[in-house]
Amino acid sequence: MNKITNRQVICDTLLKAAKQDRDIVVVCSDSRGSASLSAFADKFPGQFVEMGIAEQNLVTVSAGLASCGKKVFAASPACFLSTRSYEQAKVDVAYSKTNVTLIGISGGVSYGALGMTHHSCQDIAAFAALPDMRVYLPSDRFQTEKLMEALLQDELPAYVRVSRSATEDVYDEEMNFTLNKANVLMEGEDILLVACGEMVPNAYEAGKLLQEKGYSVGMLDMYCVKPMDEETLLAAAEKAGLVVTVEEHSPFGGLGSITAQVISAHCPRRVVNLALPDGHMIGGTNREIFAHYGLDAEGIARAALKALEEG
């Protein structure tokens, strides 16, 4: 089982790049440990800024550094980054088009037992609503590394959400990666599964369970929620009788909503959105929460079959 978290991969990728590029700066809100960025702070103290628990300042200072030519990566728990500093993300990063990558750590229900104050289940909707803000949810360590390498090469605003725990490997070191291009993991005609972030391994396993039952299953890793890869989505949806989206997010405004909007406009199909509930959730580990709300592999497969039977 993989034990390397996506947040650790972010640190390792930035460490490697910072050896050749002194303009790379990491800014944290008292979260270097949670973000696995302590090694970067120790290695490059002159390229690391600790803001303390002040997320609004975190984003504004990051934008200021970017306006001076720095390549800034601002890390903070997703639950706080997407709420407390939303205006700064809107004005200082997105509207001003500064070279800032906002890194939301411990996204979704990663902080499980800490409850709704530490859950970030609205962040995809919030950031996707901002003009000129891209939204990415990489699924495993290999995709996270490729994404970070790509973001190091451009100068546009982005929000990257990663989990606290390690996720199962979906890819390997030889994976094909193109920025803003979804990955096709399976091809099929009965059901199309579309997932992002930590839900990709669960949806992928669900797809295998459905295949074992004799169903033809397609599967997309839509790590690029915005801009969504509409071309790949529509090509897969046109072949499928049912589309099922899977996300660690509110049922409103996230992957499911955007997917349904695209499909309804171009190739109407039934779209079933599997997401966290619109309500205050139970406490527990993220895996316990996934199982309770049917977002583990068995729950996803079960829901897809039920939707298929209902027609």
Place 107 in a pLDDT band, splitting at 50, 70 and 90.
very high
Contact 292, 282 (CB under 8 A): yes
Asked if pLDDT for residue 299 goes beyond 70, the answer is: yes
pLDDT for residue 31: 86
Question: Lowest-pLDDT range, 108-112, 211-215, 243-247?
Answer: 108-112
pLDDT for residue 296: 97
Q: Using only C-alpha atoms, what is the Rg of the chain? A: 19
> Whole-model pTM?
0.96
Which has the higher per-residue pLDDT, 84 or 34?
A: 84
Average pLDDT (62-77) is: 97
Burial of 192 (0-12, 13-18, 19+ CB in 10 A): buried
Question: Lowest-pLDDT range, 32-41, 70-79, 94-103, 224-233?
Answer: 32-41
Tokens for 3?
A: 């034990």
pLDDT for residue 1: 67
Average pLDDT (20-26) is: 96
Contact 37, 24 (CB under 8 A): no
Query: Where in the sequence of the chain do the CATH 3.40.50.970 domains occur?
Result: 6-161
Asked if pLDDT for residue 112 goes beyond 90, the answer is: no
What is the rounded (10 degree) CA torsion for 194, 290, 128, 269? 30
Q: At what angle do helices 255-266 and 230-237 cross, to 10 degrees?
A: 70
Interval 188-222: pLDDT, tens: 999 999 999 999 999 999 999 999 999 999 999 99
Asked if pLDDT for residue 117 goes beyond 90, the answer is: no
The helix (H) or strand (E) run that includes residue 101 is strand 100-105
Identify residue 168 by its one-letter amino acid code.
E
pLDDT for residue 36: 86
Task: List the Cα angle 197/246/192 in 5-degree steps.
Answer: 110
Q: Select the CATH number that applies to the domain covering 183-310 from these four: 3.40.50.920, 2.130.10.10, 3.40.50.1980, 3.40.50.720.
A: 3.40.50.920
Asked if pLDDT for residue 44 goes beyond 90, the answer is: yes
What's the CATH superfamily of 6-161?
Answer: Thiamin diphosphate (ThDP)-binding fold, Pyr/PP domains (3.40.50.970)
Task: List the Cα angle 303/308/311 in 5-degree steps.
Answer: 130
Query: Where in the sequence of the chain do the CATH 3.40.50.920 domains occur?
Result: 183-310
Average pLDDT (255-280) is: 95
Interval 127-184: pLDDT, tens: 999 999 999 999 999 999 999 999 999 999 999 999 988 899 999 999 999 999 999 9
Asked if pLDDT for residue 258 goes beyond 70, the answer is: yes
Task: State the chain's mean pLDDT as an integer.
Answer: 95
Identify residue 58 by its one-letter amino acid code.
L
